């Protein structure tokens, strides 16, 4: 038997694809590269999201969050943002920077949010459908460190950053980038966004995120997104081609770079995913319900503001409510409380008709059973919570402090399994197999039956990590754990990377822009 993920297997797969044999199959499944994998596809959840609480209970959270916005208000640190809010009817007190929002005012602007839209990639095959029953998986973002089993944990750097970006491009189940998978601290912060975005848009042809860390970075990112799409500013404004995540400063604070990000992105018609970071017991009440009230108040305020800037601006409603370890204050993820918050968060987003963002996260320090169960619990909450956009879908370890090569491969496998679970069940006459059952009859077996022979190659999802060998064979092979399989796999995969094509004129325009902006000194670093 060939161990999945070894170089030998990669070679064998390559051979099969080239030889024919499995080629037709590989092509059908999107195996257009050196290894076979399911195609890039629009994933849809074939069942309605779970309702963990009743509509009346949901209304209680909704009304409580409107009370927070009316009675307590939000601190808005950005002068122009407050001016925009005042112009649109909010009660702004400049001395305290506090803004109170009337419930009707909030709901009036929330009503302008589009419930579904497309995010355009430079490769149209990688466009994303945001909202409805679609679900999008985005790679991990913003880890300060990275790690692999061979070389351990280290601060982020450009070489690892590029490796992770390549893995995102190679795997069809990663629909888009979510940010910088790891922060390359060896690049000066003033020009980091320019170097990183140039890498992302050349090493991949998928949609991507730009950080809202000051006006210049937003504007540079937006221009890079426009250049690689090769469209006019006017067309670009109607075709969201990048997105940003706006984290509120919980509790109840909206800072300058975040407000600036909303203004820039909304003005240019780019997508804004508002995500309060409401850890119950730290930045939010210790009760899940209370943390959701705060999450909802902050999300509604920032989303309503985006619609004040531009009615119909494409937005997402993000939930990141989880609990903390009450002994240390450290965030916990993939917990029962996190799952509840994920599912009720989805109920809230759908109440407002806004695409919902959640995450595949864990608090584990290594790729052990804990990492797996916290992640699968998170994915469970995503799927049944009706998440449309799953951030940190692959690679996240240690509460987000690490982007792990092995976790990346584990998550890719988990995501592919979830996608297979969501794929429609074939219920054709042929699949129901009454004739095959008749033919085999009582006490027979199906291994050799024509019905099996015609289908067995593609009948089941073939996992990347799972070791299904019997105990004796597995022991003889050195008792490898999932961690070891994942370690072999990322190296084999990365070795097979090929960059996507890019039009030479676009490449030149991109390089000219990036070089000019670098010469100009990039962006201020006092954010």
Q: Which is nearer to a second copy, 437 or 494 (CB)?
A: 437
Minimal distance, residue 370 CB to a second copy, in Å: 4
Q: Which is nearer to a second copy, 191 or 418 (CB)?
A: 418
Q: Which is nearer to a second copy, 201 or 258 (CB)?
A: 258
Minimal distance, residue 249 CB to a second copy, in Å: 7
Q: Which is nearer to a second copy, 26 or 265 (CB)?
A: 26
In the beta sheet, which residues pair with residue 299? none
Q: 455 CB contacts (<8 Å, ≥6 apart)?
A: none
Q: Which is nearer to a second copy, 12 or 118 (CB)?
A: 12
Q: Which is nearer to a second copy, 260 or 337 (CB)?
A: 337
Degrees to nearest 5, angle at CA 213 with 386 and 120: 50
Q: 414 CB contacts (<8 Å, ≥6 apart)?
A: 360, 372, 375, 376, 379
Torsion (CA) 87, 88, 94, 100 in degrees, nearest 10: 160
- For residue 94, give Cα distances in angstroms to 71, 77, 98, 253, 404: 16, 10, 7, 14, 45
Pick the closest to residue 97 from 111, 81, 117 (CA basis): 81
Pick the closest to residue 179 from 256, 254, 306, 275 (CA basis): 275
* DSSP code for 132: T
Minimal distance, residue 322 CB to a second copy, in Å: 10
Surface-to-core class of residue 35, CB atoms within 10 Å of its CB (0-12 exposed, 13-18 middle, 19+ buried): buried
Using CA atoms, how far apart are residues 336 and 221, in angstroms rounded to an integer? 37
* DSSP code for 204: -
Minimal distance, residue 193 CB to a second copy, in Å: 27
Q: Which is nearer to a second copy, 228 or 299 (CB)?
A: 299
What's the distance, CA 316 to chain centroid? Answer: 12
Minimal distance, residue 59 CB to a second copy, in Å: 10
Q: Which is nearer to a second copy, 380 or 513 (CB)?
A: 380
Q: Which is nearer to a second copy, 239 or 337 (CB)?
A: 337
Pick the closest to residue 300 from 87, 64, 55, 84 (CA basis): 64
Q: Is 302 helix (H, G, I), strand (E, B) or coil?
A: helix
Pick the closest to residue 321 from 300, 303, 346 (CA basis): 346
Q: Which is nearer to a second copy, 111 or 431 (CB)?
A: 431
Minimal distance, residue 75 CB to a second copy, in Å: 4
Using CA atoms, how far apart are residues 306 and 316, in angstroms rounded to an integer? 11
Minimal distance, residue 83 CB to a second copy, in Å: 19
Minimal distance, residue 14 CB to a second copy, in Å: 19
Other beta carbons within 10 angstroms of residue 51's beta carbon come to 16
Minimal distance, residue 66 CB to a second copy, in Å: 10
Minimal distance, residue 464 CB to a second copy, in Å: 11
Minimal distance, residue 290 CB to a second copy, in Å: 3
Using CA atoms, how far apart are residues 230 and 478, in angstroms rounded to an integer? 52
Using CA atoms, how far apart are residues 131 and 515, in angstroms rounded to an integer? 36
Q: Which is nearer to a second copy, 204 or 375 (CB)?
A: 375
């Amino acid at each position: 038997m060939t161990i999945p993920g070894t170089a030998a297997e990669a070679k064998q797969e390559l051979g099969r694809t080239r030889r024919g044999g499995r080629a037709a199959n590989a092509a059908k499944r999107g195996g257009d590269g050196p290894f076979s994998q399911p195609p890039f596809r629009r994933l849809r959840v074939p069942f309605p999201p779970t309702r963990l609480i009743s509509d009346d209970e949901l209304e209680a959270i909704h009304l409580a969050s409107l009370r927070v916005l009316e009675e307590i208000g939000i601190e808005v640190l950005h002068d122009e943002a407050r001016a925009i809010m005042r112009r649109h009817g909010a009660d702004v007190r400049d001395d305290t920077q506090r803004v109170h929002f009337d419930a009707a005012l909030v709901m009036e602007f929330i009503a302008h949010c589009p419930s579904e839209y497309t995010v355009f990639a430079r490769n149209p095959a990688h466009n994303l459908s945001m909202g409805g029953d679609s679900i999008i998986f985005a790679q991990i973002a913003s880890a300060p460190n990275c790690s692999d089993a061979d070389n351990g944990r280290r601060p982020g750097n450009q070489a690892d950053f590029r490796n992770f970006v390549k893995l995102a491009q190679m795997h069809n189940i990663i629909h888009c980038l979510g940010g910088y998978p790891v922060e390359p601290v060896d690049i000066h912060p003033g020009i980091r966004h320019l170097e990183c975005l140039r890498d992302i848009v050349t090493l991949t042809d998928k949609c991507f995120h730009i950080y809202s860390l000051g006006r210049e970075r937003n504007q540079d990112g937006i221009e890079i997104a426009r250049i690689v799409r090769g469209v006019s500013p006017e067309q670009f404004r109607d075709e969201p081609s990048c997105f940003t995540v706006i984290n509120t400063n919980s509790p109840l604070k909206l800072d300058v770079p975040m407000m600036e990000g909303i203004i820039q992105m909304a003005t240019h018609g780019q997508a804004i995913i508002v995500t309060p970071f409401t850890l119950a017991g730290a930045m939010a009440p210790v009760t899940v319900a209370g943390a959701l009230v705060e999450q909802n108040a902050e999300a509604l305020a920032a989303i309503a503001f985006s619609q004040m800037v531009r009615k119909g601006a494409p937005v997402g409603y993000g939930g990141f409510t989880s609990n903390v370890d009450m002994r240390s204050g450290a965030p916990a993820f993939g917990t029962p409380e996190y799952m509840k918050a994920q599912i009720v968060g989805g109920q809230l987003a759908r109440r407002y008709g806004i695409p919902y963002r959640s995450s595949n996260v864990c608090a584990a320090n290594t790729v052990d059973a804990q990492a797996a169960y916290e992640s699968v619990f998170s994915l469970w909450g995503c799927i049944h919570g009706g998440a449309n956009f799953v951030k940190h879908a692959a690679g996240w370890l240690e509460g987000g402090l690490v982007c792990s090569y092995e976790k990346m491969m584990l998550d890719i496998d988990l995501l592919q399994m979830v996608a297979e679970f969501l794929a429609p069940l074939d219920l054709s006459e042929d699949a129901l197999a009454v004739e095959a059952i008749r033919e085999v009859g009582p006490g027979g077996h199906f291994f050799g039956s024509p019905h099996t022979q015609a289908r067995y190659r593609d009948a089941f999802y073939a996992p990347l990590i799972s070791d299904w060998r019997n105990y004796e064979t597995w022991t003889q092979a050195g008792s490898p754990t999932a961690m070891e399989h994942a370690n072999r796999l990322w190296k084999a995969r990365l070795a097979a990377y090929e960059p996507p094509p890019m039009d030479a004129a676009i490449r030149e325009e991109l390089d000219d822009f990036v070089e000019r902006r670098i010469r100009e000194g990039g962006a201020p670093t006092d954010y």
